[in-house]
Chains A and B, each alone.
Chain A
């Protein structure tokens, strides 16, 4: 293992683990869990080593690059590397997957298949973050879908079959549009004589030089009255926006979240949604910067609608998990708003918000999981007074809720404030109005979280629940790393920002901000 292959090891060690699990007898669940634990722990340790050791945080360049020929016929390469942005998310992803293993110990059904699929999912997720070749990127992007389909569909709640296929169909529809755009980009790259026509960094360079405009394609730079770049932009945007999810593409999310088992919800909210935001930053905006600039305001509006609409719908939920799911829509809206502002603070805020939402939503879903395991329902009006019997749980929940609603001193505050300041400082017209509207979302978020707190923990204790056990050690340990990050990054956000800043600055310059 050397600097050039370490990313490949991080990506594929879970696959080795998956292979190993397939050879373990079905009833030997101890060994299966052990293998799953090891196969997720090693990538996490390696990612940590990269983060604090091998990676040069002062550089905006792609690092630890590995580039090999793969499919010569279409010039697809095995091309991986990281910059500050992807590295932070890789670290988060490996951490989440590591935590997902002990968080899954409650699952009894078909454990062998469960852990095998979980590891396959990790390959897809990490693969997307390290890919720098669009073909490879797409392959990993799709590899994620199948394990997710099964994880929701087999181990999910009562309406799991519906939720699983809905998730799959939505994402696939987005990604076939993406595929068409990728093919068109590849052909255009070929037409202008690029050396590695699938390479994302090379596409970015060519696009920055104003070369990637589709003039080399049979239909020229225009198609049905719209510019080539406009088509590409919307095709890619929809593909990624479904994943984020941005209003109006968000309807798969509540179903998937509510039906998925707790650890899968955690992964879904914690890292899968970030793939959408990351994709926009890495593989959409820099490749069609002109179209991005043209439609930035529209994206800002979509972001604000997601913030406000998500918060209002969350307010109206009586299902605990559904409420948390809609709060994700609201929080991810900040990511889009921050990016659309095209301003250093806004972009860093968006990247930071992705990370922080990853930790805080993981905490929220774990909190829901704890109560669901005990009460076997999630009706917010069915609890009450739990603070009297589950004191530790109440304390952790309070911390998690405050992190999510953006209390100063906790992580969510920093990133939301940065996106809003970025948007407010934006040189584009109209963003000030958007910021003012989005503040409504923050208020409503505080309202529904505090109201939930009141309904579940305060008031009279429901007699049925007076014998509930408090949160146990395993459950605390699953939440601990994320709560720690929520606090730590609230106080010292530069432990993330310093790493990201060079890449973000470069991105903003590329986009013309």
Chain B
């Protein structure tokens, strides 16, 4: 009994999130009337409280950055998980504000909207803080189910419905594939705990299994990876992304592109870290770790190249950003492919960088859907002169996405490239560099449309609140880029808490 009471303390953020979900649901039922913006504000306030709790938890974890025991045998409390929870809370708050600030979206912003968003966050909270594949799967499914409904939230809209259906079909398939992979892993190692699987503390370790029977291990790992690859939209499991991103309501797309993708990467990092980077494993069976590294490197190269090449041809801004998010998944994969603590930390940092610039870019999209009444890049013609603040902010996001200084995107790419070269993946870094140059071409089609063309004065008014929020994000993109030290320390500290080999003193 005491165990449970103690456990509740550690699970306070999760409980608070669940309570918030209930409050939203009940309050919505009690209060009559069309306007539900109070629920939006409640969500934002709730996020602030939970962020505060998470910060407390971050500080309470000692030097190792993780709680020595697994709570209830399932939940791991470490800074890595806390980092991604903070990330989720931060993105959810911004997404909720997007819904609140945009009057067309606000109409759809009924209680269930916020409830589903918070529900998705609960899923993320559990999936990023467990080593137990069962709980991970449950968290993932909770996130997925909430996302399916959110994707189809614009009920009258055909595209939205199509997005939801596509998402369910692809999601269901990949969940099945992944579950099959997990069952194989369980069969091979006799445990569903990732750490035990890696070290072989409860029977046979995966590396040892690989030495005797490589094929089943490879099949199992690839199947599970496929499930994760779907979640973070890595080629060849990316086909759902453009359609779902385009069809889903823009705030939902934002949530999928930022929070959901980061959560996918979080579990992917944990999975690779626990199974392939355990001390001793790399020494005993080199081929085992090296091959997965090579596989990830190839996936990274293909993903970023294909994402960028497809984005080149897009005329719809939302779809272009969808392909760009695929390309960025490719960049993050460099950090994974490096298979070093430094690489993982770089991947975590890049995701944080991605938070600022991508939230901003999608915010801009939402703003102009309202102002220009269209998602077409061509319809932005000359609007830069009409809405200078938001448009200049967008230029900042775009140079950050391209990876130019002095923005956080540049610094993020720098640390990724750095880790890549250090791990001997110079070729991948060159591919990524050329990809950045390639991406400039389509990102600057937006800039060209905004500033280099003349306006034809048909546009309506923008939402001032939304514009202000976008401006704040753009300032953050530059400031965090120039003074990246704190964020870098956070991602280092989070990554080290995974139990990976500690980072050397930089020099």
Contacts and interface: CB of A to CB of B under 8 A. Distances in A.
A217 B506 CA distance: 15
A23 interface: no
A149 B395 CA distance: 12
A176 B418 contact: no
Interface string A153-174: 1100000110011001100110
Interface string B472-507: 000000000001110011001000000000000011
B496 to A, nearest CB: 14
Interface in B393-422: 395, 399, 402, 404-406, 410-411, 414-415, 417-418, 421-422
Contact of A143 (B402, B405, B423, B492): B405
B418 A186 contact: yes
Interface of A is mostly: helix
B440 to A, nearest CB: 6
A146 B418 contact: no
B186 interface: no
Interface in A270-328: none
Nearest to B487: A73
B385 interface: yes
A184 interface: yes
B436 interface: yes
Interface in B443-458: 444, 447-448, 451-452
A143 B426 CA distance: 25
Contact of A164 (B417, B452, B507): B452
Contact of A73 (B404, B421, B441, B489): B489
A75 B436 contact: no
Interface string A134-146: 0000110011011
B429 A168 contact: no
A141 to B, nearest CB: 9
B424 A219 contact: yes
A180 B437 contact: no
Category for how many chain B residues contact A: 35 or more
Nearest to B444: A165
Interface in B104-147: none
A172 B447 CA distance: 16
Interface of B is mostly: helix
Contacts of A223: 426
A183 B414 CA distance: 8
Given A138-B405, A154-B451, A183-B429, A74 B418 contact: yes
Contact of B430 (A138, A146, A180, A218): A180
B415 A154 contact: no
Category for how many chain A residues contact B: 35 or more
Contacts, number: 100
Contact of B452 (A71, A139, A143, A153): A153
Nearest to B483: A71
A149 B506 contact: no
Interface string A210-231: 0000000111000100000000
A376 interface: no
Contacts of B411: 71
B433 interface: yes
Contact of B437 (A75, A146, A172, A218): A172
Given A177-B430, A180-B430, A183-B417, A142 B404 contact: yes
B434 interface: yes
B507 A193 contact: yes
Contacts of B422: 187, 217-218
A55 interface: no
Contacts of B429: 180, 183
A9 interface: no
A138 B413 CA distance: 13
Given A73-B484, A74-B415, A154-B452, A146 B399 contact: yes
A17 B404 CA distance: 23
B485 A180 contact: no
Contacts of A502: none
A464 interface: no
A249 interface: no
Interface string A178-199: 0110011011001001000100
Interface of B: 385, 395, 399, 402, 404-406, 410-411, 414-415, 417-418, 421-424, 426, 429-430, 433-434, 436-437, 440-441, 444, 447-448, 451-452, 483-485, 488-489, 492, 506-507
Across chains A and B, which 3 residue pairs bring their CB atoms closest together, nearest first? A218-B424, A176-B433, A139-B405
Given A149-B444, A173-B434, A187-B421, 17 more contacts: A73-B485, A139-B405, A142-B404, A142-B410, A153-B451, A154-B451, A154-B452, A161-B452, A168-B440, A172-B436, A176-B433, A180-B421, A190-B507, A193-B507, A218-B422, A218-B423, A219-B424
21 contacts: A71-B411, A72-B485, A72-B506, A73-B488, A74-B415, A74-B506, A139-B410, A142-B405, A143-B406, A150-B451, A154-B452, A164-B452, A172-B440, A173-B434, A173-B437, A176-B436, A176-B437, A180-B429, A183-B417, A187-B422, A218-B422
